[in-house]
Amino acid sequence: MSILVTGGAGFIGSHTVVELLNAGEDVVVLDNLYNASPESLKRVEEITGKTVKFYETDIRDRKGLDDLFANEKIETVIHFAGLKAVGESVYKPWEYYDNNITGTLTLIDSMRNHGVKNMIFSSSATVYGDPKVVPITEDAGKGNVTNPYGWTKWMLEQILTDIYNADKEWNVILLRYFNPIGAHKSGLIGENPNGVPNNLMPYITQVAIGKLKELGVFGDDYPTHDGTGVRDYIHVVDLAVGHVKAIEKIKENVGLEIYNLGTGVGVSVLDLVHAFESANGIKIPYVIKARREGDVATCYSDASKAKRELGWEAKYNIEDMCKDSWRFQQKNPEGY
């Protein structure tokens, strides 16, 4: 039996495919390559010495999905495929709802028609909205989200919960990621954003390599230790290993479970800038700008449920994340 990884050519997907193959799992990857290069899967093959079975298919393509499930013996789907740019989602809500929600509904329907009822879903800390208490536990309750991307995660969690409630043969694990950064130690795979990056770490690495002049720090008047936004940055390899643990868990017929995947450590924008500078010996020029709309002051996890129930905890620290992000950027200045 195999694991289907949708969005497996992307940033988190490609790192997860490496860890699944290293753990001896059989993997099939589906991706429409909208935000990924086929090169990432070649690199996964180079790292693991294994061949990756790949379907270039869209999750909204019902026939493509039916053919895949008819050809492959899939036991569980790890569902990464989706659009993820917060800012873009405000301008293209229809595209986000269609891709993420129609796509996932099509996938779920094809799965159940082929008797595949195990899903691990990529959710996000964004579903908590502006947290009342930190660190955030899974039972904190969902909050108000500030953009269509976040609403797709919020709604898909609800949809998967309702699907499970109606048919208890399903096993659903909702993984709420905090802020994934870093890259595989080899420097062969990493984050490959299109155009000017929206997220902090790829922006920093592009300043470091000279593609961008300086970092804009969005606000220094938050109620945090240095006034800049605090997040829970997690190494993408730790996140990938979390999926291997979730695969072991789902085999126990878990029903519906939710896990935070984070480090539990809050790091500010300026903390990350300074950590990058000292890890890599490069100065990152920055200017303070206005707050970015929709940002919260502080967001970090309590990840003790994942430790208790999945036997998972993050191993890499901020220095590792800074070194590994920089190695990937240096080895791939123009991306893949």
From the list ligand NAD, ligand UFG, none, partner contacted by residue 60 (C-beta under 5 to 8 A by kind): ligand NAD
Secondary structure (DSSP) of 101-121: IIHHHHHHHHHHHTT--EEEE
- Number of residues binding to ligand UFG, judged by CB under 6 A: 21
> Smallest distance from the beta carbon of 286 to ligand NAD, in angstroms?
21
Secondary structure (DSSP) of 53-115: EEEE--TT-HHHHHHHHHHS-EEEEEE--S---HHHHHH-HHHHIIIIIIHHHHHHHHHHHTT
Q: Which of 149, 177, 259, 316 is catalytic?
A: 149
Establish if 2 lies at the interface with ligand UFG (CB under 6 A): no
Q: Which residues in the chain belong to E strands, given as ranges? A: 2-6, 26-31, 53-56, 74-79, 118-124, 171-177, 179-181, 215-218, 230-231, 233-235, 256-261, 267-268, 286-289, 298-299
From the list ligand NAD, ligand UFG, none, partner contacted by residue 36 (C-beta under 5 to 8 A by kind): ligand NAD
What are the residues binding ligand NAD (CB under 6 A)? 7, 9-13, 31-36, 58-60, 80-84, 99, 103, 122, 124, 177, 179-180
Residue of this chain nearest to ligand NAD (CB atom): 10
Establish if 124 lies at the interface with ligand UFG (CB under 6 A): yes
Where does this chain touch ligand UFG (CB under 6 A) — which range of 19-27, 58-66, 120-128, 155-163? 120-128
Where does this chain touch ligand UFG (CB under 6 A) — which range of 7-15, 138-146, 157-165, 291-299? 291-299
Where does this chain touch ligand UFG (CB under 6 A) — which range of 11-19, 88-96, 123-131, 154-162? 123-131
> Smallest distance from the beta carbon of 283 to ligand NAD, in angstroms?
26
> Smallest distance from the beta carbon of 222 to ligand UFG, in angstroms?
8
When the beta carbons of 190 and 227 are compared against ligand NAD, the nearer one is 190
Q: Which of 54, 55, 203, 316 binds ligand UFG (CB under 6 A)?
A: 203
When the beta carbons of 179 and 224 are compared against ligand NAD, the nearer one is 179
Establish if 217 lies at the interface with ligand UFG (CB under 6 A): yes
Q: What tokens does 265 get? A: 């450590």
When the beta carbons of 106 and 126 are compared against ligand UFG, the nearer one is 126
> Smallest distance from the beta carbon of 79 to ligand NAD, in angstroms?
7
Q: How many residues does the chain have?
A: 336
> Smallest distance from the beta carbon of 168 to ligand NAD, in angstroms?
25
CB atoms < 10 A from the CB of 39, how many?
A: 16
Burial class, 175, CB count within 10 angstroms (exposed 0-12 / middle 13-18 / buried 19+)? buried
149 is catalytic: yes
CB atoms < 10 A from the CB of 315, how many?
A: 11
Give the CA angle between residues 216, 217, 219 to the nearest 5°: 130
- Measured CA distances, 114 to 25, 103, 169, 311 (Å): 21, 17, 13, 31
Going residue by residue from 47 to 86, which x/- string records binding to ligand UFG, judged by CB under 6 A? -------------------------------------x-x
Distance CA 291, CA 167 (A): 44
Distance CA 323, CA 278 (A): 10
From the list ligand NAD, ligand UFG, none, partner contacted by residue 229 (C-beta under 5 to 8 A by kind): ligand UFG
DSSP-derived letter for residue 312 is -
Going residue by residue from 261 to 290, which x/- string records binding to ligand UFG, judged by CB under 6 A? --------x---------------------
Distance CA 95, CA 29 (A): 23
Rounded (10°) CA dihedral 332, 243, 314, 227: 70
Task: Name the residues annotated as catalytic.
Answer: 149
Residues that bind ligand UFG (CB under 6 A): 84, 86, 124-126, 178-179, 198-200, 203, 215-218, 229, 231, 269, 292, 295, 299
